[in-house]
Amino acid sequence: MQTEIEAKFLNADHDAIRAKLKKLGATREQSMRLMKRKNYDFPDLRLEKVSGWVRLRDEGDKITLSYKQLNDRTLHGTKEVSVTVSDFAATDSFLAAIGFEQQSYQETKRESWLLNGVQIELDEWPWVKPYLEIEAESEAAVRTAAKQLELDWAQAVHGSVEVVYQAEYDATDAEIDHWQEILFTPVPDWLETKRRKITV
């Protein structure tokens, strides 16, 4: 499996980031679009036991099927192997036929930029503030892009999207992983009660 070398920066001002990307000569590869994904495991949750999951994602311009494994929340802690597939519904049926069970359905929005070979993703997930993700083939490239965008490396977080929700809600990885749907709807009452109190 390949290592995902990426960093997230939370509570990002996407308009300000776009302006910086344009000034730096970055290329917008895709405009903001709706993406949908389903996450799967076996009935006995054997993948969850090793912090892994199977993800089917419609990215707008392609559909990918991935196995992801979160070994730790460091810059090099997420492993992934991914293939491109041609049909979301057919692949969903295929996974069900070989014994996988859908664990969650999620909708997100993403805008994709390329800066000197580094992937910059402007991400929007339901119920949390916008953030951005920087991914490259080396830590040095990720750090360089963050510096060019005037981001504070001390504020970088790593790992899957749980860290984004945990910044705003008092919820464990296991809780977030078992939310059956994450949709662009008002914050559910059960989640609102978990919102972290911000002290001044």
> Does a structural domain hold residue 159?
yes
What does the alpha-carbon distance between residue 84 and residue 15 come to, in Å, rounded to a whole number? 31
> Does a structural domain hold residue 66?
yes
Q: State both tokens at 22.
A: 């344009």
> Does a structural domain hold residue 197?
no
The pLDDT assigned to 1 comes to 85
132, β-bridge pairs: 9, 122
Q: How many domains does the chain have?
A: 1
What does the alpha-carbon distance between residue 75 and residue 140 come to, in Å, rounded to a whole number? 11
Reduce the DSSP state of residue 7 to 3 states and report it.
strand
The pLDDT assigned to 200 comes to 44
Q: State both tokens at 110.
A: 């993403």
CATH of the domain at 110: 2.40.320.10
> Does a structural domain hold residue 198?
no
What does the alpha-carbon distance between residue 141 and residue 3 come to, in Å, rounded to a whole number? 14
> Does a structural domain hold residue 156?
yes
| Burial zone of 8 (CB within 10 Å; 0-12 exposed, 13-18 middle, 19+ buried) | buried
Q: Which of the residues in the chain have pLDDT under 50? A: 199-200
By residue range, what is the domain housing residue 174?
2-192
pTM: 0.92
